[in-house]
Structure 1
Amino acid sequence: MLVLLPERTKTAITLRANLFGLSKTEAHRSETHRRIFLAACEARGESPGQDPRPIGATHRKGRYTLIKIAQPDVWKPLHVHTWEQVNGPVPEGMIVAAKDGNVQNVNLDNLCLRTRAEHQLRNNHHYRGLPEEIVDILHLQNELKKEIKRKTRNEK
């Protein structure tokens, strides 16, 4: 095209073609990009694609540290993996939580098994920052109040 329109740049021709809805096919683009990629890999002396991470490798995702437990790409949170190494698999409907709220602290003394409902209650903004024992007492107190209300309603 550049030979037919010598006064136009390649960019100008491409933009005009896009305005008319013309473009290279996906097969052509992918083949061209693959050739360029393989040539760049060969120039650097690398094999194309990523090398797989070994089992036991870790990486951070958000606030969690993930550990690779199997090939290909089976990752699990490190605190859950640590719990399962000692206590076996996590039962259905339960989660492994950190008592101090820091999942980076994977000591077994800091990990506990909770239901999702209990975990939600313990992460209530009213209870944050309180020691675990006081939170337990507050939950027992709330359960006692609920039971008293149920009994008084049933008597009426």
Structure 2
Amino acid sequence: MAVGVMLLAFWLILCVALSAMTFGTRDLSGLGRAGFGLCALASYPMVWWCCRFWYAAFSEGRREAPAAEPGAWPWTLPMLAVCVVLGFTSARDLVRGNSGAWFGVGLVVVMGGLSGMFLLMEVREWFSARRARRNPPVPSPLPPSARSVESPRPQRNWGSIGR
């Protein structure tokens, strides 16, 4: 429980701090302000995810049907936002002649590839769940007594292991 509270508090503080940096600082360039704003917008779904997770956890025994746990897609948004910001700043530094920006490009490729893969897996899962909802399984026309029932597997008693 303590981990969940700390996670929610961390993302909430991060969202407020990034929003304050976006709107409160006058010294930022347009690209810096857009970067902080993008990271703030990507972090707000994490707060929503934490709240939904806590709602599902606390309503588990109190309702007839359990609350659905939220999907994992918000976890990819902050990483993608950092990749976009890092990609733009690395490209800007490369154009200016700074060869140290190649590290940022490599980091964008690795982080962007991983987060893009996770996002594609989540989209694929979303479409398959949607297809399953649209095409429910057809019930069998046979009565339950006529359906083949798998016989239980035999239980083996191997004795004690120490012999």
Task: Identify the TM-score tier after normalising by the shorter chain.
Answer: under 0.3
Q: TM-score, normalised by structure 1?
A: 0.24
Q: TM-score, normalised by structure 2?
A: 0.24
Q: Which has the larger radius of gyration?
A: 1
